[in-house]
Amino acid sequence: MLTAKNISYYVDKSTPLFRNLEFSINKGEIIGLMGRSGAGKTTFAKILAGYDVPDEGEVSIKQKKGEPHPVQLIWQHPEQAVNPKWRIEKVLREAGEPDSEIVELFGIEKEWLKRFPLQLSGGELQRVCIARCLLTNPNYIIADEMTTMLDPISQAAIWKAFIKIAKQRKIGLLVISHDRHLLERLCGKILTFDQISQLK
């Protein structure tokens, strides 16, 4: 189980973004998270994935030396998550040996591998980033507005492939989105950020 206990994060010494946050998710569980813009959802996601350190509290999971973090974060804007000077093949190999099943499932074409990120569309690059995430064999994934910028057809195709792999591997999945209809289709439980981050 991934657990966050008494998590607080301050914008400055006197201004909390959120305080006393409590959250837990089991492997194989799919939870949706909604909340107003600026509430701290992305900061919370970064804390769970080890990018940021909370000012108070702790996250239960630890990274083993030499291994990828067991909690992976998929960003809303894929161009911000890759090295623009790397070809796509190197982007994927950063996480490990490309898995032919994953590459095929997300429709990653062979000709993409020799291209640079700016030579792919947003949808194509997000497919690469999702595949790279899965290649690390994470226990948990946080999808932070993962398909917000994509057209409905691309969104549907990506989520179908993504959920299939997550269920097969029993990956705990936290889906952060403003789209309640999407969360209702995907998630067994939906939380609002106010429910887990009361300013006490």
pLDDT digits (tens, 9 = 90+) for 82-134: 999 999 999 999 898 888 889 898 989 999 999 999 999 988 999 999 999 99
Q: What is the pTM of this model?
A: 0.90
* 56-59, strands of its sheet edge to edge: 15-25, 2-12, 56-59
Domain that holds residue 176: 2-196
Q: What pLDDT sits at residue 36? A: 86
Query: What pLDDT does residue 198 have?
Result: 60
pLDDT band, very low/low/confident/very high, at 200 (cuts 50, 70, 90): very low
β-sheet with 30-34: strand ranges across: 71-74, 140-144, 172-176, 30-34, 189-192
Query: Who has greater pLDDT, 64 or 171?
Result: 171
Q: What is the CATH number of the domain that holds 31?
A: 3.40.50.300
Q: What angle do CA 35, 9, 13 make, to 5 degrees?
A: 130
Structural domains in the chain (count): 1
